[in-house]
Amino acid sequence: MSYSQPQPPPRHAQRPSQRTQRPPDQSQRAFTQASISTSSTAPSYRSQPQGSIPMPMPTRVVHAPTRQASQQHQAQQQHQQQQQQQQMPPSSRYQQPPLQTSQHPSPRSAYSGSERSLPYAAPAAEHPLHNPNALPERRQDAYRQQEQPYSAPRMYAPPPPPAPSGFLGGPLQFAGHPPMPMGNGPDPFTRKRTVRKIPLTPQGNLVLDIPVSERVLNNGKFRDEEEFTHMRYTAVVCAADDFSSKGYSLRQQDYGRSTELFIVMTMYNENDELFCKSMNAVMKNIAHLCTRSRSKVWGNEGWKKVVVCIVSDGRTKVNRRVLDVLGLMGVYQDGVMKDHVNEKPVTAHLFEYTTQVAVDAHLTMKGYEKGYVPVQILFCLKEKNAKKINSHRWFFNAFGPLLRPNICMLLDVGTKPQETALYHLWKAFDRNPSVGGACGEIYAELGTGCSNLLNPIVAAQNFEYKMSNILDKPLESVCGYISVLPGAFSAYRYVALQGKPLMQYFKGETMHGGASVSTANMYLAEDRILCFELVTKREQAWLLKYVKSAKAETDVPDSVPEFISQRRRWLNGSFFAGVHALQHWYHIFRSGHNPARKMILLVEFIYNAIMTLFNWFGLSFFYLTFFFLANTNTMASSTDGTPNPPPDPALSPFGASSQGIFEVLRPIYIAAVVTCFISAMGNRPQGSRWIYIGCMILFAAIMGIMLFYCGWDVYQSLPKKDEWDSIHSVSQLIKQRPALKDIVLSLASTYGLYIIASCLYFEPWHMITSFVQYLFLMPSFMNILMIYAFSNLHDVSWGTKGDNSNASDLGAVTSSKAKDGTHMVSVEVPTERTDINASYDKFLANLREPRTKEKQKRDVKTKQEDSFKQYRTNLLLSWMFSNALVIIILTNEKMQKILYTSFGKSGTNGQDDGQFNPFLRFTFYSVMAISAFRFIGCVLYLVTRATCG
């Protein structure tokens, strides 16, 4: 190591002169030589906005080109001896003018110089290189020659200027490298770092302010304030609920800024493309807020009222390329994180930075020249994987109490809000102070040129999302209670959540292995519990609203196994959460809503109860619809036991083969249902992929046949050519042909309603691109998804892995290479004959002991698993037999006779007109009533939206 050209302290490493006073016990501290480590990038050096003070010289400086190796070694030895013997007074030889101060003081400016948590603390003793008189004579000349300004960072060569296009002249150069380890592991871009002693805050917290790369600053508009020049790292060693009580602070709080909008983005192991898509969209939304110059809340500096919190669930689970993107934005740096502070394990790594750099999904860097504004980011990297609900606990319970935001927005990585979505969502709260929660429209990502719609799974989900946003969400919004505000894109008023709503919400963090299977499954949809508790909060009158103008795009499953796995959690969670809400319906009367609102909420609860009942019997209802439609003209006997005449081939859809086709389709249908049950019992969808695909194709074919039967019945119900002359009006036609009326009204109230409602909302395109796919996959939604969900009630996991650590009680061996090239290990083995014999005698002594009859006991975890599986079995049997009972009753000839007689019908097949069927008529009119209720709700939503905004 050469000391021929010592460098003055760089400008960004200096400290304010008023900070030079130290307590007596620390001012006598001797300087300790800084050791050099070859691990990854360490905390760099922080500039203080208050001024500058002398700092110790770096331990590594620029090498002199004329220094010989022997002279270098001799100089190094002299330096080490002088360091141990001398203590020099502080030098001010290279004092520079103070840096430009920020408009906000340093958040820890109240600490004394020794209390500040910095990458290093200035020692009281002077490094010998600070005083040229203390150096050998031959080194003083070289030292004096170096008395010139020098601004390059210590131990770090300045990077080349940014490339003119893209980032690094094109694709990011780290993109081709394999995933790199986190923390202090080896890194191909590693710099040597100096290990220093760092004082903690008075509360014992490790907080570091670390300079960001010059390339980050070069792409920004603001380059002087501390929030742009330095990234802050905090090693959190407490639980989320204790964050504020342990003395931790946030920059937004320290700067005295109010927080209007607090956005959380949760992620697990999503790739960099999904992260960039969501993050870039959020930054565009914040830029739009700053363009609202007439707003009383927003404006040019509206970004100061917005904080984006990124919570990653598990340090070892996060995608490495996402960290690389955050590093480009200045939010993250390698080599900074620590796993223990004062022997306390770190629970979360918190990075704070106000970035001016945006990276899109194509890894192109953009800045203020593209209209972006600064964005205040908190990046919370949790040490362990603890599920998404724990990420929300950090958001609400750790950071929320310090920032006290007005509105909290929830966003999943992979969801892309439109450029004005966050403003419209926020405006719903600003316009109506009674709104406690709101959600926008989530639609499926369709790809370039709607190419994703070529996949029928994606197309069916696109139709499902659209119709839910047109019929279901508006209806619930008019009532004031939305059963679920999706965590992928929703918002809440922070004060409305305080108290019981959040308490009930976070119960789900410990309920996934709780004593009750129903409770554990209920908290798979904890966002539904939060909505129910918010609306029924005691003596409060909070409402939930749907904001159609706030739109966000999300990626949906595009494969059958992924789709089934996702819906398993959704269906089980929504079913049990819905049952929980129905069981506690009376809670609406303890709320602070007015009587009219309580009656409206009561009507909605009745509607939800009816829909839950239909979902429970959906398996049997669909089979009965197929049975009666396909068997209308093929029954061989009437309900009184007398044989029917052979069906007229002209009236049968397939002529004389109709009966044979029905006799083949019915066992195939039953076999498909049985196959779904068997495949769902313990098998993962990934392992039974082709079985499920085959069942989906089979159910799609059955649905096609059912649609053909419906069309055939309508055709047979129409008058013949010679009968049209006797019909003078539509009412007369309906009166003479009741079967035609039933079918037409049912189809019109379902599919016709879809078309009318979509046109009212000016969104008819999904009817053209996705309706057919949804129609043919609807039987699979009712059969495959429900069967798999109920068959796996005992699975209440969120995909969290168990403990994969290895036991270390057996010791370990390390191999070494011998001279002949073989690898040798050192192993402790018994060699003495006495030891071997003693071991043998021990075996004999153990076997002489009488066998103990141990009672088989199950541990707690095994008992819980058995209990969960038994509950699953009981509920599955109840569901199966209740649906089977409905099928048996309505398909048994004697039961049909009793049923038809009760309706006053008789004759062939128990029917006066030959086409009456009580079940089909009940189904048709039930569907029509539910559809009419949904249609009224969607129309009322449009009216209130047009009048009230």
Strand partners, 437: 492, 544
Containing 27, the helix (H) or strand (E) segment is helix 24-27
Residue 68 CB contacts under 8 Å (≥ 6 apart), including other chains: none
Containing 421, the helix (H) or strand (E) segment is helix 421-431
Catalytic residues: 527
Cα dihedral 90, 92, 96, 102, rounded to 10, equals: 40
Helices H / strands E in the chain, number of each = 33, 19
Residue among 264, 238, 380, 270 nearest 315 (CA): 380
Contact 365, 296 (CB under 8 A): no
Sign of dihedral through CA atoms 168, 172, 176, 182? positive
Q: Which residue reads 């320290």 in tokens? A: 254
Residue among 837, 816, 842, 812 nearest 827 (CA): 812
What DSSP assignment string belongs to 624-651? Answer: HHHHHHHTTTT-SB-TTSPBPPPPPTTT
How many CA within 13 A on the CB side of residue 822?
Answer: 3
Q: Rounded to whole angstroms, what are the CA distances from 697 to 183, 384, 564, 669, 787?
A: 49, 42, 15, 12, 17
**CA angle 636–641–647, rounded 5-degree value:** 20
Residue among 411, 793, 387 nearest 571 (CA): 793
Q: Which residue reads 């958001």 in tokens? A: 395
Distance (Å, rounded) from C-alpha 347 to C-alpha 335?
17
How many Cβ atoms sit within 10 Å of the Cβ of residue 833?
8
What DSSP assignment string belongs to 669-736? Answer: HHHHHHHHHHHHTT--TTTTHHHHHHHHHHHHHHHHHHHHHHHHHHHHHS--GGGGGG--SHHHHHHH
Distance (Å, rounded) from C-alpha 871 to C-alpha 516?
9
Distance (Å, rounded) from C-alpha 846 to C-alpha 236?
51
